Amino acid sequence: MPELGRAALIVCLGLALFAAVAGAFAARSRRQRLVESAENAILASFVAAAVAAVVLLVGLVQNDFSLVYVADHTSRELPLGYTISAFWGGQEGSLLLWLLILTGFSATAVLLGRRSARSLLAWTVPVLGGVILFFAFLLVAVSSPFATQAAPADGAGLNPSLQNPYMLAHPPMLYLGFVGLTIPFAFAMGALLARRSDELWIVVTRRWTLVAWTFLGFGQLLGAHWAYVEVGWGGYFAWDPVENAALMPWLAATAFLHSVMIQEKRGMLRIWNVLLVIGGFALALFGTFLTRSGIISSIHSFTESSIGPWFLGFIGIVVAASIALVLTRLPLLRSKTRLESPVSREATFLYNNLLLVAFCLTILWGVLYPIITEALRGEAVTVGPPYYNFFLKAFGLPLLLLMGIGPLIAWRRASLRGLGRTFAWPAAFALLCGALLLVAGAGSSIPGLVGYTFCAFVLASITFEFARGTRARHALSSGSWAGAFASLIGRNRRRYGGYVVHASIVLLAIGVVGSSAYDTVAEKRLRPGATMAIGDYTLRYRNVEQRRGPNSQEVRALVDVSRDGKRLGTMEPGKNQYFAEQQISNEAAIRSDRLNGEDLFLIADQIDPDETLFLKALVKPLVNVIWIAGFVFLLGAGIALWPDAREQRRLALRYGSSGSLVRV
Amino acid sequence: MARRSSPARLVIALSVAAMLAVFLLYTSIAGGGTPQVAPSELRGRTAEVSLVGQVVAPVRRSGRTARFELKDVKGGSAVRLPVVYTGSIPDLFKAGRDISLTGRLRDGTFVGASGTLVTKCPSKYTAKKDT
């Protein structure tokens, strides 16, 4: 079996090489037959990668410990679900997952492109082939998942932190997001290589960007929830390099999703958009590099591995080659129109872009800071959460405000009087909310208060937009209000899906602000029978209980919880000792209040043999709103992504079925 | 030059400049981060640093206080720095592990601040192979 896996990867490598080299030659010399065979090579590379993936999966499920990868990441006791998740639990497997998704996406892009953008494909295929080539090469020559050994009796097991249902979904989602950003990049480069000056590549890849961005966003939220329930330090995001690695491409993609609308509608920001696409893809590669190279040590402390220099080299080539390409094609990218007024829809989009990119770059600066200071001063200086939190407030709060302003402002040029009329109600509502919150005692955190006031403003402005649109539609159709509302969304899926996503970002902000600006923490050493208080809660420590789990010994401290004299139940923070892995993991206990979204979070910091407990308790208001935001985010993204026959017809009219621009 | 006179460009240029100003202001006020040093590099420094090293046996623990020595993770330095730390001790903490903690040197002993002790597990993604 391992031979089959290795052979499949070599075949994949060959196909990618063909797609890149023969594809480029074919596109240059306009040989249509050869172009098509390069496209077919991309399709076949997916089949080859799928065969390799199946071989590894079978090895994992069958506990074939003669495969080094299987022996290193699973054990006989490991439940089946986690045995499968071990596929992406280690470096070689996750690279194979990258390759599988990459070839799968590329094949889909080729198949879809044959229908809608034939003329763009010729130069896109060699770019896709080049990226596939790199990953296939890594898997064949540098980091093979099919290395074999004399089979040991049992495997080393999976890192206990990874034994969590979230790990089944979180890494694949992030990979879907990272890899998904390859497709817009390839089409953008394809368009430049083909010397096209139209917007077709943006139209073709808009959904791809949206899909990648959705996966990346939701994947990060899953990761945050995993960190919250499983790592158990009472937080969900710590500005760790690994977390930043996923956040940076997401921010770049968010900026891109907004700025492409300007290019589609007004033909502006063309160079900027190409740069954003390059940046998003390079950051996705950089993210994978960060988590895999060991260049920056963090809490997670990465594997020091052999693939680091290769990745760095590849990122260097990608950035240098794409910038060079952009420079040679500058005349094609000149804007057709100019910004008419600093107070207009396109201007707010521009500010939003600047803020997002600035935030992304400050994060990048923070991540690279230890490397830069090491090089300049010979001493690595790390910047911690205060640095990032400062910029989150400095850039995040204006972004929040813009989210309320943008949708209400007119394209081209907005009059100040019109603005005053449109914003009167949302602004009044926001100020009222701010005042009420101040009375309620939210003034303990000024950024928190400002954040909440902005949140109220955005929500009011979104509601206002929905109400205005529904009323207009109702007046036109004279049907029911519900019908008018449904047809409003149905006819403008992108726009109203976008507003729903905005609402989810507001919910996210509400949850983040609530749980970080208004949280309470208490720590106490407790003997059995002793109590401690936090917020309105009283905690009474009963005793320690030991029990046997499926592959671990579980130690639990039983803590009775009551609020205002009313018993709420028993919480069981503790620790698990995993046998095969010989590791201990912290198991926090969380009690969520469904009414106000507040969590009581208990950590058994230390349990001594004499049952003395060091208990850490946190009250995190509104933290559950963050997880709700995730579902609203999916809903909004789903609305925006849903196929729109009307839009397809319009595009077909504009670009023709072959993808060449039809002049009308 | 019509391009130059566009008010939009001016506003954008100004907002970029404003952002840069905020950035510079922050870095100059906050001084930017904590230096990361190894035990052998600590001599004579009394400012707050993030110390990275390997735990040398024996580790003496009582309650939430741990006393131990740290040596350099890399290089053959013979420096063994005494460390005292009180606070939350990670489950993975033991002799031989690489750790980092923030604190400052007091009378020849490095005093770690509560809650800053972090063990660097062999890897986030790969289970440790016992050698």
Nearest CA of chain A to the CA of B107: how many Å? 24
Q: How far is A476 from chain B (nearest CA, A)?
A: 37
pLDDT band at residue B121 using 50, 70 and 90 as cut-offs: low
CB contacts under 8 A, A 450-509 vs B, are: none
> Residue B55, Cα to own-chain centre: how many angstroms?
16
Buried b (16+ CB within 10 A) or exposed e, A146-169: bebeeeeeebbbbbbbbbbebbee
Q: Is B40 on the interface with A (CB under 8 A)?
A: no
According to DSSP, residue A444 is labeled G
Residue A353 with chain B: CB contacts under 8 Å = none
Six token digits for residue A345: 């829809």
List the 189-228 stretch of A: residues with Cβ below 8 A of B.
Answer: none
For residue B78, being part of any structural domain is answered with yes
Same domain membership, residue B109 and residue B60: yes
Residue A662's pLDDT band (cuts 50, 70, 90) = very low
Question: Residue A67 — very low, low, confident or very high, per pLDDT cuts 50/70/90?
Answer: very high
Which range has the top average pLDDT, A17-21, A160-164, A565-569? A17-21
Q: How confident is the model at residue A191 (pLDDT cuts 50, 70, 90)?
A: very high
Per-residue model confidence (pLDDT) at position A477: 78
Are A17 and A149 members of one domain?
A: yes
Q: Looking at residues A137-165, what average pLDDT do you find? A: 86
How many structural domains compose chain A? 3
User: Is A549 contained in some domain?
Assistant: yes
B12 and B46 co-located in one domain? no
Of A391, A394, A606, the CB nearest to B89: A606
Kindly state whether residue B129 falls inside one of the protein's structural domains: no
Residue B78 has pLDDT above 60, yes or no: yes
Indicate if A558 and A585 belong to the same structural domain.
yes
Mean pLDDT, residues A500-518: 94
The verdict on residue A242 lying in a domain is no
B48 with B22, same domain: the answer is no
Cβ-Cβ contacts under 8 Å, A91 against chain B: 125-126
Which of B9, B12, B16, B19 to substitute to test the interface with A, most A CBs within 10 Å? B19
Could you tell me if B1 and B40 lie in one domain? no
Q: Which of A263, A125, A180 is nearest to A641 (CA)?
A: A180
Cβ of B33 within 8 Å of Cβ of A394? The answer is no
Q: Are A100 and A16 within one domain?
A: yes
One domain, residues B74 and B11:
no
In a shared domain, residues A498 and A591: no
Given A303, A340, A342, which is nearest B123 (Cβ)? A303
**Percentage of chain A exceeding pLDDT 90:** 55
In a shared domain, residues B86 and B24: no
A408 shares its domain with A551: no
Q: For tokens 């209000």, what's the residue?
A: A481
- Pair B114, B77 in one domain: yes
Using an 8 Å Cβ cutoff, are A164 and A332 in contact? no
Please tell me if residue A303 touches chain B, with a CB cutoff of 8 Å.
Answer: yes
Please report residues of B whose CB lies closer than 8 A to that of A359. Answer: none
Strand extents, DSSP E, chain B: 34-37, 49-62, 65-71, 81-86, 98-106, 109-112, 118-120
Same structural domain, B54 and B14: no
Q: Are residues A472 and A592 in the same domain?
A: no
Task: Say if the Cβ atoms of B15 and A340 lie within 8 Å.
Answer: no
Is B97 inside a domain boundary? yes
Per the prediction, chain A carries an average pLDDT of 88
Q: Are residues B80 and B57 in the same domain?
A: yes
> A91 and B92: CB-CB below 8 Å?
no
pLDDT surpassing 50 at residue A298: no
| Chain B nearest-CA residue for A584 | B91
Same domain for A465 and A612, yes or no, is no
The rounded Cα A53 to chain-centroid distance in angstroms is: 24
Three-state secondary-structure class, residue A55: helix
Cβ A525–B129 below 8 Å, yes or no? no
* Higher-scoring residue by pLDDT: B3, A517: A517
**CA-CA distance, A461 to A350, in Å (whole number)?**
19
In a domain, A605, yes or no: yes
Range of the domain at B85: 36-120
Judge residue A384's burial from the number of C-beta atoms within 10 Å of its C-beta, 0-12 exposed, 13-18 middle, 19 or more buried: middle
pLDDT in the model for residue A214: 96
- The H-or-E segment that residue A137 falls in is helix A118-137
State how many domains chain B has: 2
Arithmetic mean of pLDDT, A150-161 = 82
Q: Do B13 and B52 reside in the same domain of the chain?
A: no
Q: Residue A226 pLDDT more than 50? A: yes
Instruction: Give a yes or no: residue B71 inside a domain.
Output: yes
Is residue B14 domain-shared with residue B50, that is, in the same domain?
A: no
DSSP-assigned letters across all residues of A73-120: H--TTS-HHHHHHGGGTSHHHHHHHHHHHHHHHHHHHHHHHHHH-HHH
Please tell me whether residues A4 and A134 are part of one structural domain: yes
Helix H segments across B6-72?
A: 7-30
Cross-chain Cβ contact B127/A581 below 8 Å: yes
- Minimal Cβ distance to A341: which of B8, B30, B32: B8
Q: What is the share, in percent, of chain A residues with pLDDT greater than 70? A: 96
What pLDDT is recorded for position B27?
A: 63
Give a yes or no: residue A386 inside a domain. Answer: no
Determine the distance in angstroms separating the CA of A653 from the nearest CA of chain B, rounded to an integer: 34
- Tell me whether residue A550 is in a domain: yes
Do B28 and B59 fall within a single domain?
A: no
How far B84 CA lies from chain A's nearest CA (Å)?
A: 18
Which of A98, A124, A158 represents a domain boundary (last residue)?
A: A158
**A589: pLDDT strictly greater than 80:** yes
Chain A residues near residue B122 by CB distance under 8 angstroms: 301
- Looking at residue B2, what is its pLDDT? 40
Q: Chain A, 71-110: which have a CB under 8 Å from a chain B CB?
A: 72-73, 89-91, 94
Q: Please give the ipTM for the structure prediction.
A: 0.71
Q: What is the pLDDT of residue B3?
A: 44
Q: Please, which pLDDT band fits residue A293 given cuts at 50, 70 and 90? A: low
Does residue A364 form part of some domain? no
Does residue B127 fall inside a structural domain?
Answer: no
Q: What one-letter code names the amino acid at A10?
A: I
Task: Return residues 44-83 of B near A (CB < 8 Å).
Answer: 50, 52, 63-64
* Alpha carbon distance A245, B2 (integer Å): 41
CA distance from start to end of chain B: 71
Task: Label residue B29 by pLDDT band (50, 70, 90).
Answer: low
- On whether both A575 and A444 belong to a single domain, the answer is no
Same-domain pairing of A401 and A495 = yes
- What is the arithmetic mean of pLDDT over A270-274? 90
For A125, the domain range is 1-158
User: How far apart are alpha carbons A217 and A251 in whole angstroms?
Assistant: 9
Confidence bin at A659 (pLDDT 50/70/90): very low
Which of chain A's residues have a Cβ under 8 Å away from the Cβ of B21? none
At residue A294, the pLDDT reads: 55
Rounded Cα distance between A228 and A222, Å, is 10
Residue B124 pLDDT > 50: no
In a domain, B65, yes or no: yes
Q: Of all helices (H) and strands (E), which one includes residue A620?
A: strand A613-620
pLDDT at B32: 59
Is A130 found in the same domain as A43?
A: yes
A495 and A423 assigned to the same domain: yes
CA-based nearest distance A427→chain B, Å: 23
Q: Is residue A559 part of a domain?
A: yes
Give residue A155's identity as a one-letter amino acid code. G
Give a yes or no: residue A423 inside a domain.
yes
Asked whether residue B10 is domain-assigned, the answer is: yes
User: Does residue B84 lie in a domain region?
Assistant: yes
